Structure 1
Amino acid sequence: MKEEIIIAGFGGQGVLSMGKILAYSGVMQDMEVSWMPSYGPEMRGGTANVTVILSDEKISSPILHDFDTAIILNQQSLDKFEGQVKPGGTLIYDGNGITRHPSRKDIRIYRVDATREAAIMRSSKTFNMIVLGGFLKVNPVVKIENVIKGLKKSLPERHHHLIPINQKAIDRGMGIVQAIHEEIEA
């Protein structure tokens, strides 16, 4: 098994931390892992993305040009990365602020309205965990217990009291993800 993932959005949406938690989760599952962040000098509010590779075998290079999965959190990232999802791959996106929805017919497309759900939960900081839950529902590349271990490894100890709300957010993401296009057309 090898999963090549890009997570992309604005700085401040938890893009890099979502990638880090996913990477730690892979480590907890004894996988080979690569985590490679990329962000502009603006940081919060600028664009940010991270590539994560999870594999049962050695990873030859962390540099990717095409992805098995794209997790997209804003329109700019959708415009940039939709075309880089491998045919037969998966695109997951948050619908907030998206004006041109994904249109490819050769990939699976899912929507998780994490912005809306985080507002309902009254916890905007759980946005990225809601998205992660949606991803793990459609592509369970790591076990939830390893994601919780990854959270513990990623969060400073003084924030470990937030782990239960993050776990609840992951569960909510799993519950609200919806298929937009699952049939792959050749």
Structure 2
Amino acid sequence: MQQSAVPELAHTHTRPIHWVATATALAGVVAFSSVLQPDPATAAQASAPGPKPAPATTSAAPSTEGVDWPLECGPVKALVMRQASGDLDGDGRPETVAAVHCDAPMGTPPDGVYVLTRAAGASAPRVVATLVAPKDRLTVTALSVAADGTVHADYLGYSSADVPSCCPDVKDAARWQWKDDRFIRSTPAGSHDV
């Protein structure tokens, strides 16, 4: 029999206790490494190309208080009956849309629907557009501004000049959207008799 140059060592023979000791040491290393974590990465992530978000609205909508409305009310005051606000032209500043009529003691005074804006640095808002003129003899029953800047109004009107102003006989709606530097009106399908 030939002898080996290296004497037989006890640790070169694997026994079950060796495997248990190795598994325990490995579990300890894994557990300890989960406690020690590196600092979070601070590099900025590149943003994906795509559409830019709309500019944030940073100013308050114009107030209807103290506005000089383009109405001839004589000795009575102009009353704001309904209002809604939103960014109508996409410039990041909100506008206010208001339905206004004269405080008449009798009958149903017609509404005017006006758009208010306040220029940067201006102290008072001003009327920049008339969506519905009082001469149209309409009474606005609902007014809103959608997220896309579309103005929506529901209103009551008259089928002819012979219908008394106390009793509107037509119910309808209209929408306006800012396009090509002006408000474009569209009317949803069909008016309804009241």
The TM-score range, normalised by the shorter chain, is under 0.3
Whose RCO is larger (CA < 8 A, sep 6+)? 1
More strand by share: 2
Q: Which structure has the larger Rg over C-alpha atoms? A: 2
